[in-house]
Structure 1
Amino acid sequence: MQHYTEQQIRSIITGLILSIFLGALDQTIVSIALPNISHEFADVKWLSWVISGYLLTSTLATPIYGKLSDLYGRRLLLSSSIGIFLVASIGCALSHSMFMLVIWRLVQGVGGGGLISLAQATVADVIPPRERGRYQGYISGMYAIASVIGPLFGGVLTHSLSWRYIFWINLPIGLVALIISRRALRVLPVPNIRKELDWAGIFTLTITLLLLLTAFTLLGQYGRVTESMVVLIMLSLLGGILFIYVEKRAKEPVIPLSLLDVREFSVGIRVLFVAFMQILTLTILVPLELRMVNNMTASDTAWRLLPLSLSVPCGAFICGQLMTRTGFYKRYQLISQAMVLLGVAVVAFTPSGNTFWFCVMLFISGVGIGGQFPTTLVAIQNAVPKQTIGIATATTALFRSMGATIGVSVLSSILLALLQYYLPLDQKMGIDMIKELMMQPAGSGHDRLIFEFASQQAFRWVYLLLALPTVMSFYLVLNTREQALKTH
C-alpha cells in the first residue's frame, strides 16, 4: 500500500466526509417536504416515487460505480457521481410538475449511488486495515448525523423559504465536496487496467434489481401481496439465474462471484442487510407507534427518537476506535449484535408511554446497530483481494439498501396485517381505512381505545420479528474465523 502523509490523509478524509454528508442528507431531507410538494403540484399519485425513485436508482447504480472505480480509479468516478447529483439537484429545484420532479429524482439517484460507496472504498485505498476502523467510524458517524439533521434542516428550509431550497442547498455543499475531493484525490494512483466492461452482467443485474425492488416497494405501498408483485418477484428470480450464468462466463464480471467464497464477505453482506433493515424500520415504526398509541405530535415523536439517532454514530465511533487500538473486530461485532437483540426485544415489551426505559432501550439498540457498520466493513475489506475492494464495498452498500427497502416493506405489511387481526370482528376494516386512521390525530372514545390496544399488540410482534434476524447474524459471525487486521 502506498504511504500517505498525515496532511494528505486529512485532506482526503475531509473530501470524503463531505461526499458522505451530501449523499446521506438527501436521503432524509426530502421526506419532510412531501406534503408541501404534493400541495403545490396537486398530485399525490406519484408522490411516493419522489423517495422510492431515488432509492431505486441509487441502489441500481451502486455496484456499477464500484466496478468502474476498480478499473478507472476512485477520483474520476467520485467526481462524476457528484457532478450528476448536482445537475439533477438543479433539475429538481426547477421542476414544474410532479412527473418532472420524479424524473430528476431518478437521475439524482444515479449520482447519489456512488457518493457513499466510493467514499468508503477510497478509505480502504489510503488507510491500512489496522487503522481503518477509526476512519470508517468517522464516516459512519457523519452518515448518521446527516440522516438525523436532514428532516430538521428540511423542515426549516421548507417552512421558511420553499421546498425547492432543499435541492438548491445541495449546490454549495456539492461544489465544495467536488473541489476538495478532486484536489485531495490527485495523489491516488490510477489503475492501469483497460478491460472490456461486462455489459451483459450490468444489464441483467440492473433488470433483476429493478424487478425485485419494485415488487417490494409496491408491497410497502399497498400493504398486501398482489399478483403483479408475485410476477415481478418470479421474473427477478429468473433474472438472477441469468445474471449468475452471465457472470460465470464473463472475463471481467461486474460482481465477481468468487467474492462469495470469502467467508467474511458472504457473512458481512448478510449482517449489514439485517442492520440496515433494523435501523430504518425502527426509524419509521417508532414515531408511528408513538403517534398511534400515545397520540404524540410530530415534534414530540422527534424528541423520543433522538436517543436512537444519536446512539448510532456513537456506536460506530466507539467500535471504530476500539478496533484501531486492539486490532480485533469480531468481539465488537458480537457485543453489538447482543445489544441490538436485548434492546429491540425489551422495546417490544416496554410500553411506549414509559418514556425513560423506552428511550434507554432505543439507545442501546442504536449503539449496537452503529457498532456493526465499521466492524463489518473493515472485516470485509481486510479479507477480499485489493483489486476488488471497490466492488466489494459497493456490494455491501447494495445489500444495505436492499435490507432497508425489503425490510421496511415486509414489516410494514406485517404490521397492517396484525392490526387487522387484532381488531374485534365488529371493528374490522380495510387496509386503506387503517392507513387513514394511522395518519389521523388520535381521537377519544371506545373505538379509539380498541385501536390503541390492537396497535400495541401489533407493534410488539413486529419488534420481536425485527429482533430475530440478529440471532442469525450473531450465529454467522460467531462461526467465522477472525483474521488479523493488516498493517499495510
Structure 2
Amino acid sequence: MSDATLAMPAAPRAARPRHARLIIAAMLISTFMAAVEVTVISTAMPVIVSKLGGFHLFAWAFGIYLLAQAVMTPLYGRIADSFGRKPVYLASTSLFLVGSLLCGCAHSMVTLIVFRAIQGIGGGGLAPLGTTIIGDVCAPEDRPRIMGYVSGVWGIAAIAGPMLGAFFVHTLGWQFCFWVNLPVGLVTMTMVWRFLRDSAQTRSRAPIDLAGCVLLVAGLGLMMAALIQCEALPTAQLVLLLAVAFVALAGFGLRERQVRHPLLPLHLMFRPLLITANLSSLLAGTLLIGMTAFLPPLIQGVMGRDALDAGIVIGVLSVSWTIASMTIGRVVGRVPNRVLAVGAGIAMTIGMAVLVPIADGRSLGWLTLIVIPIGIGMGLTSIVFTLAVQGSVPAHERGRSIALFFFSRLMGQALGAAAFGGVLNAGLADTHGHDLMQALVNPRLRAALSPAHLAAATTRLDQALHGVFVLAAVLALAALAVACFTPRRAEQNP
C-alpha cells in the first residue's frame, strides 16, 4: 500500500523525551493521512468516474498523482538533507492539503487529474519525510519497534479508509474522500511546528538538480501516456512517445552521472542491499495499485456489489498487511533478510496465482480470503526493506536513501497504474467505457438494463479486468525472483 535523534546528540534527546514521543505521534498521524488517501480514493473511484465522466482517463486519476509523488520524493529527500526536516515537511503537507481541497471541487475528470497532480506534488514528501524524521528521533535499537507501529498504522488507516470511502459516497458525497485530509493534516503540521527541532548535523546543503527533475518528469510522463493510451494511439505516435520518453530518461541518467549533487545519487542506487530493496519496492508498488485501484471495479462493476463490499475486501488486505508488519517488526534482526524477503515473495505469488481464477469466478467470499496472503507479503516487504535501508546508511544520507526507496514504490505504482490502465483500456477498446462503467456501478441504471445487456456488459468488463490480474500475477513472480538475491543481513549504521 509505503517507508540520528532530534538533534542526533544524546543530550537533546534525553532532555526532551516527551517531545520525541509527540513528534513520533505526529508522524504516525501523517502516515494515517497518507494511507487513508489511497484507500478512500480506490473504493470511491468507480462512483467518481460515473459522476464526472471520462472513464478512458480512469488510470490517470491514479497515475498522475503517483507520478507527481514519485518525481517529488527524491527531491524532498535532497531538500530535507540540505535545509532540515521541519520546513520541508510543513511545505509538503501544506501543498498536499491545498491539492486535497481542490480535488473535492473538481467538476470534470480533467480538472480532477490536474488537482491530483498538485496533491501528488505535496504528497511526495509525506511518507519519506515522516520515516526520515522517525529515524532521526529514534535510537537505532528502537527503530524496529517504532517502524512496526508505522507500518501497522498504515494498515489500520487502510482498514478505515475503504469504510470511510463507502460512507462518504453514500452520505456526504465523494468530495469528502479528499476533504477528510484537511483536519488531519492541520494537526500534524501544528505538532511538527511546535515540537520538532532540526539539527545542523542532519543538514548537508547542496544545489537542487532541477534540470534532472524536468528530464525525469518528461520521461516518466510520456512513458505513462504511451502505456495508458497504447490502444487508442496510432503506431507512429506511440513509437514517437516511447522514443522521446527513453531519450529523456537516458538524458536524466547521463546527467546524474555528471552533476556533483545528483537527484538520485549513483553511489546509493548501486549498493547490493539498496538494489534489491528498491526493485522489490517497485514491484510491490505495482501490485499495490493493481489491488487497490482495480479490485473495486471488479467488485462494483462486475459483481454488482456496492462500495462497502469493495471496502471490506481492501480492508481485509490491509488487516493482513498490518498484522504481518507489526508481528515481523519484533523479530527483524534475528531472522536473515533474505528469508523474510523470500517469504514475502512466496505469499504474494501464491495469492496472485489463485486470484486470477477466483476473480473470473466472481466469488466475493473467496476473493476476500485470497487477498490475505497478498497483504501479508506486502506487509513483510515493506517493513523488512524499510528497516534494512534505514539501518544501512549514515544519518546524513538517510533522507535520500529513504526517499529513493519510496520513489521506487511510487514509480511502481505510477507505472503499474499506467500498464494496468492500458490493459483495461485495450480490453474495452471498442466500447464506450464511461457509459459501461456508469451503467454498472449506478444501481438505478444497472436495474434498467435488460438481462442480456447486463450479462454482456459485465462479461466485457470482466474479461478486460482478467488481463489486469494476469499481469499482476506475472509481476508477483518477478518480485519473488528479486527477493532471492537479497543480502542475508545489512551493515548497521547509527
Same fold by TM (over 0.5)? yes
Counterpart pick for 1:132 among 143, 150, 159: 143
State whether structure 2 residue 319 is matched by structure 1 residue 319: no
**In the alignment, which residue of structure 2 is the partner of 1:122?**
133
Deviation (angstroms), 1:415: 5.0
Counterpart pick for 1:215 among 205, 220, 226: 226
Equivalence map 1:319-338=2 (5 Å): 319-323=328-332, 326=334, 328-338=336-346
Equivalence map 1:295-444=2 (5 Å): 295-323=304-332, 326=334, 328-350=336-358, 352-415=361-424, 417=426, 430-433=429-432, 436-437=435-436, 440-441=439-440
Query: For the residues of structure 2 that align with 1:260 and 1:270, how far apart are their CA atoms?
Result: 10
Query: For the residues of structure 2 that align with 1:102 and 1:285, how far apart are their CA atoms?
Result: 18
State whether structure 2 residue 193 is matched by structure 1 residue 176: no
How many residues are matched?
A: 475
Over 3 Å counting, the alpha-carbon distance change for 1:320 and 1:192 in structure 2 is closer
**1:17-53 CA distance string (max 9 Å, x none):** 1222223333443566668877988988988765544
**1:102-129 CA distance string (max 9 Å, x none):** 5444323221111111112222323355
State whether structure 2 residue 98 is matched by structure 1 residue 57: no
**In the alignment, which residue of structure 2 is the partner of 1:85?**
96
Deviation (angstroms), 1:64: 0.7
Is residue 315–residue 371 contact of structure 1 (8 Å, CA) maintained in 2?
A: yes
**In the alignment, which residue of structure 1 is the partner of 2:26?**
15
Is residue 133–residue 319 contact of structure 1 (8 Å, CA) maintained in 2?
A: no
**In the alignment, which residue of structure 2 is the partner of 1:255?**
264
Higher mean Cα deviation, 477-486 or 75-84? 477-486
Partner amino acid for 1:480? Answer: T
Is residue 53–residue 108 contact of structure 2 (8 Å, CA) maintained in 1?
A: no
Deviation (angstroms), 1:66: 0.9
**In the alignment, which residue of structure 2 is the partner of 1:467?**
473
Over 3 Å counting, the alpha-carbon distance change for 1:298 and 1:198 in structure 2 is closer
State whether structure 2 residue 78 is matched by structure 1 residue 67: yes
Query: For the residues of structure 2 that align with 1:45 and 1:354, how far apart are their CA atoms?
Result: 27
Query: For the residues of structure 2 that align with 1:242 and 1:212, how far apart are their CA atoms?
Result: 14
Partner amino acid for 1:61? Answer: M
State whether structure 2 residue 269 is matched by structure 1 residue 269: no
Deviation (angstroms), 1:459: 5.5
Equivalence map 1:234-253=2 (5 Å): 234-253=243-262
Query: For the residues of structure 2 that align with 1:352 and 1:379, how far apart are their CA atoms?
Result: 40
**In the alignment, which residue of structure 2 is the partner of 1:107?**
118
Counterpart pick for 2:206 among 195, 199, 204: 195
**In the alignment, which residue of structure 2 is the partner of 1:286?**
295
Partner amino acid for 1:244? Answer: G
State whether structure 2 residue 149 is matched by structure 1 residue 143: no
Over 3 Å counting, the alpha-carbon distance change for 1:216 and 1:74 in structure 2 is farther
TM-score by length of 2: 0.82
Query: For the residues of structure 2 that align with 1:45 and 1:466, how far apart are their CA atoms?
Result: 20
Is residue 52–residue 217 contact of structure 1 (8 Å, CA) maintained in 2?
A: no
Partner amino acid for 2:472? Answer: L
Partner amino acid for 1:113? Answer: G
**Taking every aligned residue pair, what percent have the same amino acid on both sides?**
26
Is residue 355–residue 367 contact of structure 2 (8 Å, CA) maintained in 1?
A: yes
Over 3 Å counting, the alpha-carbon distance change for 1:116 and 1:228 in structure 2 is farther
Deviation (angstroms), 1:352: 4.0
Q: What are the ranges of 5 or more consecutive residues in structure 1 without an aligned counterpart?
A: 421-429
Partner amino acid for 1:274? Answer: L
State whether structure 2 residue 482 is matched by structure 1 residue 476: yes
Partner amino acid for 1:239? Answer: A
Over 3 Å counting, the alpha-carbon distance change for 1:189 and 1:225 in structure 2 is farther
Deviation (angstroms), 1:392: 1.9
State whether structure 2 residue 230 is matched by structure 1 residue 231: no
CA RMSD of aligned residues (A): 3.6
**1:426-474 CA distance string (max 9 Å, x none):** xxxx532466446534767567667767776765664343223333333
Is residue 61–residue 116 contact of structure 2 (8 Å, CA) maintained in 1?
A: yes
Over 3 Å counting, the alpha-carbon distance change for 1:375 and 1:36 in structure 2 is closer
Query: For the residues of structure 1 that align with 2:418 and 2:320, how far apart are their CA atoms?
Result: 24
**1:334-366 CA distance string (max 9 Å, x none):** 111111111211222336455544322211221
Question: What secondary structure, in the 3-state scheme, does the structure 2 residue paired with 1:251 have?
Answer: coil
**1:356-411 CA distance string (max 9 Å, x none):** 44322211221111211011122223334442221221122222122122223323
Query: For the residues of structure 2 that align with 1:33 and 1:274, how far apart are their CA atoms?
Result: 24
Partner amino acid for 1:432? Answer: T
Is residue 128–residue 486 contact of structure 1 (8 Å, CA) maintained in 2?
A: no
**In the alignment, which residue of structure 2 is the partner of 1:427?**
none
**Greater relative contact order, per chain length (Cα 8 Å cut-off, separation 6+):** 2
TM-score by length of 1: 0.83
**In the alignment, which residue of structure 1 is the partner of 2:443?**
none
Is residue 166–residue 311 contact of structure 2 (8 Å, CA) maintained in 1?
A: no
Question: What secondary structure, in the 3-state scheme, does the structure 2 residue paired with 1:237 have?
Answer: helix
Deviation (angstroms), 1:302: 3.4
State whether structure 2 residue 32 is matched by structure 1 residue 24: no
Query: For the residues of structure 2 that align with 1:229 and 1:317, how far apart are their CA atoms?
Result: 45
